[in-house]
Structure 1
Amino acid sequence: MRIALGIEYDGTDFSGWQRLSHRPSVQGALEKALSSVAAQPVEVTCAGRTDAGVHGRCQVVHFDTEVQRDPRGWVLGTCANLPTAVAVLWAMPVADAFHARFSARSRRYCYRILNRPVRAALDARYVTWERQPLDAERMHEAAQVLRGEHDFTAFRAIACQAAHARREVLAVSVRREDEQVSIEIEANAFLHHMVRNIVGSLLPIGRGEREPGWLAQLLAGRNREVAGPTAPASGLTFIGPRYEPHWGLPAAVTA
């Protein structure tokens, strides 16, 4: 039987999603908890790996098991064995053809910036602080050049192991709500540090240090060295993947 799960996590104290032998990871914590419920080893496959310090609103995973548990048992039993920073939102059986990574048609991220003179206290783990005023409309205008299929080498980490840098951005928006500026990006897939590097290049535009057309120049130039710095991990949340309706998954992850 193949089971799909929706996972929420605060990534602050983890060294990323991927299982590591010597550091805490979200995957390692989840597999340990699932193995306790199943009373046998369980390995999961996720929709998209996140870096150290990055959060997950609804990461989707799947695993195969012969153990019989109802969805409620998987959810409550696994949550009982997880650290407080990780929770299972839902569980459901899926077709054997379903794959958390390869069945996803797109993935979505949101980067949140607290834009005020004073640093955050309550939300410090989930936002990046920018004290200088940001023009969200200017940032939104600049970001529209990212839509479509492009070579995103300018926003790719040096350590990225992807076979190529071509990705298709389906939607991108920058908007302000009171003191918070949010950058949302949906793409078919992402490169290592791609969103954080894009944000790092949008910030000088929002501060008025660069013109909106600068982002188009960076994209066309394909030179990571002249683009903006990598924005901090704390502001980034993986909202989740999107799947076609025929898989029967919850509305939050269905296109």
Structure 2
Amino acid sequence: MRNLRFTISYDGTAYSGFQIQPNADTIQNRLEQAVYMLTGESVKVISSGRTDAGVHAKAQVINFITTSKIPVERWCLALNTRLPKDIVAHTAEEVSLSFHSRKAAKRKTYCFTIRSARFPDVFHRNYEYHHPTHLNVEAMREALPCLLGEHDFTSFCTVRTDKEIKVRTLYEARLETEADDLSSDGKIVRMRLIVSGNGFLYNMVRIIAGTLLQIGEGKRPSSDMQRILEAKDRSQAGPTAEAKGLTLWKVEY
């Protein structure tokens, strides 16, 4: 037996998330189908995290056990010819049989992209949240430092979660901006919320993003982020932002 680890990327637009679900098209299902077409084996693909419907991945990490003797350097090309065009395997390596993509992960980074402009960008519409009016970027930035460190993130977790322990550690939470003054509809600002931590609760980044958008709109002060965190109450936070703005950026081991 061999344990193979891959780095993959995917456009999650057409899928009902990563995890296999009854009567639904998922990333895991497509990967397992591709392995079956290649080797005739029914494998269980393990991922570093189960992204939601519509969420993308730049560098998701997966692994599975196989008895196939196909050389590791040939796996990516072989899988890619059997995968849809919106899922791509980039790297492959053989790892110890004890390796588990989720349990071994030490740090994950997500990126939530916001386009603040009068009109949406037709070419990036599936990868960013469109906000048609001005956002106060500085107020949004001022709200983020309080999230750093180890906290109970109950306020930023869906009530549907099955996780009893909601303590996580954030190492990084920052807002990057990119401006373009050449557009005919005025100044465009594209923002990227970069959040890195040892793990994330269900919808955690999207709820942080939704709360941050309300701060940018002037509906909440920057200081409200601290109050929401301490409240440990989901009803105190903002809405869950759209999935299409979120991308799993990187996983570190």
Superposition TM-score, scaled by structure 1 size:
0.93
Distance 2:66 2:72 in 1: 13
Residue 251 of structure 1 is matched in structure 2 by none
Question: Structure 1 unaligned runs (5+)?
Answer: 244-255
Residue 158 of structure 1 is matched in structure 2 by 159
Structure 1 residue 209: deviation in Å? 2.3
Residue 52 of structure 2 is matched in structure 1 by 51
Structure 1 residue 211: deviation in Å? 1.1
Distance 1:42 1:29 in 2: 12
Instruction: Give secondary structure in 2 for the equivalent of 1:112.
Output: strand
Tell me if 1:181 matches 2:182. no
C-alpha contact (below 8 Å) 1:137/1:175 kept by paired residues: no
Residue 134 of structure 1 is matched in structure 2 by 135
Report how many aligned residue pairs link the two structures.
243
Instruction: Give secondary structure in 1 for the equivalent of 2:21.
Output: coil
Distance 1:137 1:35 in 2: 50
AA of the residue aligned to 1:10: D
Instruction: Give secondary structure in 1 for the equivalent of 2:49.
Output: coil
Structure 1 residue 136: deviation in Å? 2.2
For 1:234-253, what aligned pairs fall within 5 Å after superposition?
A: 234-243=244-253
Residue 218 of structure 1 is matched in structure 2 by 228
For 1:201-216, what aligned pairs fall within 5 Å after superposition?
A: 201-216=211-226
Distance 2:107 2:166 in 1: 16
AA of the residue aligned to 2:216: G
C-alpha contact (below 8 Å) 1:43/1:63 kept by paired residues: yes
For 1:188-207, what aligned pairs fall within 5 Å after superposition?
A: 188-207=198-217
C-alpha contact (below 8 Å) 1:5/1:60 kept by paired residues: yes
Instruction: Give secondary structure in 1 for the equivalent of 2:17.
Output: coil
Instruction: Give secondary structure in 2 for the equivalent of 1:12.
Output: helix
Structure 1 residue 94: deviation in Å? 0.9
Structure 1 residue 97: deviation in Å? 2.7
Residue 21 of structure 2 is matched in structure 1 by 20
Structure 1 residue 66: deviation in Å? 1.4
Instruction: Give secondary structure in 1 for the equivalent of 2:144.
Output: helix
Distance 1:153 1:163 in 2: 10
Distance 1:72 1:90 in 2: 8
Question: Structure 2 unaligned runs (5+)?
Answer: 180-188
C-alpha contact (below 8 Å) 2:10/2:57 kept by paired residues: yes
Structure 1 residue 234: deviation in Å? 0.6
Residue 63 of structure 1 is matched in structure 2 by 64
Distance 1:133 1:15 in 2: 32
Structure 1 residue 242: deviation in Å? 0.6
Structure 1 residue 208: deviation in Å? 2.3
What's the CA shift string for 1:81-132, capped at 9, x where partnerless?
A: 1111111111111122322111110111000001111122110000000112
C-alpha contact (below 8 Å) 1:71/1:90 kept by paired residues: no
Superposition TM-score, scaled by structure 2 size:
0.93
Structure 1 stretches of 4+ with a deviation exceeding 6 A read: none
Residue 2 of structure 1 is matched in structure 2 by 3
C-alpha contact (below 8 Å) 2:168/2:198 kept by paired residues: yes
Which one of 235, 242, 245 corresponds to residue 232 of structure 1?
A: 242
C-alpha contact (below 8 Å) 2:16/2:52 kept by paired residues: yes
Aligned-pair identity (%): 33
